[in-house]
Amino acid sequence: MQNNTQEDIIEIEFPIKSGDFVAAGDASSKTKKLLKQLGIDPEIIRRAAIACYEAELNLVIHSLGGSLILTITPSELVIKTQDIGPGIADVDLAMQEGYTTASDSARELGFGAGMGLPNIKRCADNVEIVSELGQGTELTITIKTNK
Ligand SMILES: Nc1ncnc2c1ncn2[C@@H]1O[C@H](COP(=O)(O)OP(=O)(O)O)[C@@H](O)[C@H]1O
Ligand SMILES: [Mg+2]
């Protein structure tokens, strides 16, 4: 059992803009850099960077904007996104490989392969999606850092 104090926990919030393909990836590259500085295991960093990038991109592509909140505790990384947007009608369907509702313009830029959520699932120890149609989506990814 660990008794975490407030100082053991780092929390950072990155605002994410809808449609901003230039800034897309900033939150995940900053996350990767920070995890490296903290000396986190490279395999954990690899998984966190993929999950973070896919989560971030989903806000850029599918939402009207929101934020990504990274929480680092002594035992886990939590990557949470919260957005305002269309929400996800069928979460099980959205989790399937190849399923996408990305626009033609996003696809022309090379996005919308429908692999983001399946990749997030592969990289995470736990994934939770709470979505309300016409309101928005909250995605919570947990990656354990101590086995
Ligand atoms: N934040 C979000 N808001 C609304 N819909 C989303 C969001 N994230 C994912 N989705 C839905 O889930 C689908 C699958 O997501 P994903 O696996 O990342 O593939 P892709 O982003 O390539 O479409 C998206 O096409 C979209 O319909
Ligand atoms: Mg995606």
Verify whether ligand 1 is closer than 6 Å to residue 112 (CB atom): yes
Q: Is 131 in the pocket of ligand 1 (CB under 6 A)?
A: no
What number of residues does the chain have? Answer: 147
| Cα 82 to Cα 131: distance, rounded to the nearest angstrom | 10
Which tokens in the block code for residue 12?
């950072």
Distances (CA, A) of 4 to 22, 59, 136: 38, 31, 32
What distances in angstroms separate CA 140 from CA 37, 79, 132, one per listed residue? 23, 6, 15
Distance CA 70, CA 18 (A): 19
pLDDT-derived band at 24, boundaries 50, 70, 90: very high
Q: What is the pLDDT of residue 146?
A: 82
**Per-residue pLDDT tens over the stretch 85-129:** 999 999 999 999 999 999 999 999 999 999 999 999 999 999 999
**Hey, what CATH topology would domain 10-144 get?**
Heat Shock Protein 90 (3.30.565)
Q: How many CB atoms are located within 10 Å of the residue 64 CB? A: 13
pLDDT at 44 over 60: yes
User: Strands of 10-17's sheet, edge to edge?
Assistant: 10-17, 65-72, 76-84, 136-144, 126-132
Pocket test for ligand 1, best of 18, 50, 53, 58 (most atoms within 8 A of CB): 58
Distance from chain centroid for Cα 107: 20
**pLDDT tens digit sequence for 48-91:** 999 999 999 999 999 999 999 999 999 999 999 999 999 999 99
Q: Does the beta carbon of 116 sit less than 6 angstroms from any atom of ligand 1? A: yes
Q: Whose CA is nearest to atom 21 of ligand 1?
A: 112
The pTM for the full model equals 0.95
Question: Where are the chain's structural domains?
Answer: 10-144
Ligand lying closest to the C-alpha of residue 98: 1
Ligand 1 center–CA 62 separation, angstroms: 6
d(CA 47, CA 62): 22
